[in-house]
Amino acid sequence: MIQALSGDVAFLQAIRDLKFDGFIHTIFSKTVNIKCRESGELYTLACNRLDNAPNSLIIDINCFSNNHLELNDQVFIQKSTLSIDNKMVIRLEDVKGWECSLPCYPLNEQRLIYNLAIMKGYIEFNGKSGGMKKDSQTRNPFEVEMAKMLEERSYSLLCSLVNNNESEAVNHALSLIGLGPGLTPSGDDYLTGLMTTFQLLNCPCYSLKEFCERVILKAKHLTNEISYMTLKMASVGKVRESIVHLLCLAMYGEEKELIKALQHVLQIGSSSGTDISLGLVSGLETILKISSTRRNIHVNH
């Protein structure tokens, strides 16, 4: 019997309503992904070293390496437990509910502007290369070309967003999906960060939400299921707890706390944390540029 420590409230509700029935989709050392038969969505069991995330349940286990779990093992509800065949039983009583709640975009943007400069500098020197952050040491022609494509397509995307050309922006975003190394490709991780910022409460660029909706409508078959679910959640403002914390500090925090939160996100995956962080920075800078342009137009009129 393993105790569940905390979990996404929507996942917990589905379990408590006895409406969850699924099977193991993928197995990693720190996570196990479960596919729900009814919705087709992925849910995650995560070890106690990870932070809360959408559709996830943190359980009191160090890793999943020695639990003899296999792909397609059945996952079902039994009384107040979540069971995986006869191999694992997870106790759900006393579990702490968690729900992603993004912060409000600030009325005064000066702290955000200052903190973005800090984030960019820190990522430049401490972020992991090989994805959105170019590896200046590589001589591999494939990696050089991949880095060039990621840079050019992300730049074109941001230009289209700032110039309010939504259709063009959607096409550039779709060209990033599935591009780059990693289980969640670098282009996907970058878009995860970017789209998250457009879901901030009181975001002055409301039209950017529609951009996210249009991207997700066409994204499903361009990448793998795990990465697609991450993108889909980000497009409606649902991301892991460490990313929410970093966003809060980017807009309102002091340098010391900001760097600590950024370090935590940069540790995600191989280059995923760096790619997500660069997406967050790009998204916040895009909002700043668009809102500044609108203010200038308003003043001139």
Query: Which residue has better confidence, 301 or 275?
Result: 275
pLDDT, tens digit, 9 for 90 and up, residues 114-154: 999 999 999 999 999 989 998 878 778 888 899 999 999 99
| Integer Cα distance of 263 and 269 in angstroms | 12
Which of 152, 135, 157 minimizes the C-alpha distance to 144?
Answer: 135
Q: Which H or E run contains 64?
A: none
Which of 33-47, 97-111, 285-299 comes out lowest in average pLDDT? 285-299
Note if the pTM is more than 0.75. yes
Query: Percent of the chain scored above 90 by pLDDT?
Result: 82
Q: Is 32 helix (H, G, I), strand (E, B) or coil?
A: strand
Q: Which sign does the torsion angle of CA 51, 249, 239, 188 carry?
A: negative
**How far is residue 19 CA from its own chain's centroid?**
26
| CA–CA dist 197, 287 (Å, integer) | 8
pLDDT digits (tens, 9 = 90+) for 155-189: 999 999 999 999 999 999 999 999 998 889 999 99
- At the topology level, CATH places domain 2-98 in OB fold (Dihydrolipoamide Acetyltransferase, E2P) (2.40.50)
Report pLDDT for 294. 65
Query: How many Å apart are CA 102 and CA 104, to the nearest integer?
Result: 7
For the chain, domain boundaries: 2-98, 110-300
Segment among 61-65, 78-82, 225-229, 256-260 with least mean pLDDT: 78-82
Q: Which residues lie closer than 8 Å to 8 by C-beta, 6 or more apart? A: 52, 53, 54, 55, 56, 57, 97, 98, 99, 100
d(CA 289, CA 265): 25
Q: Cβ contacts of residue 42 below 8 Å, gap of 6+?
A: 25, 33, 34, 35, 36, 55, 225, 226, 229
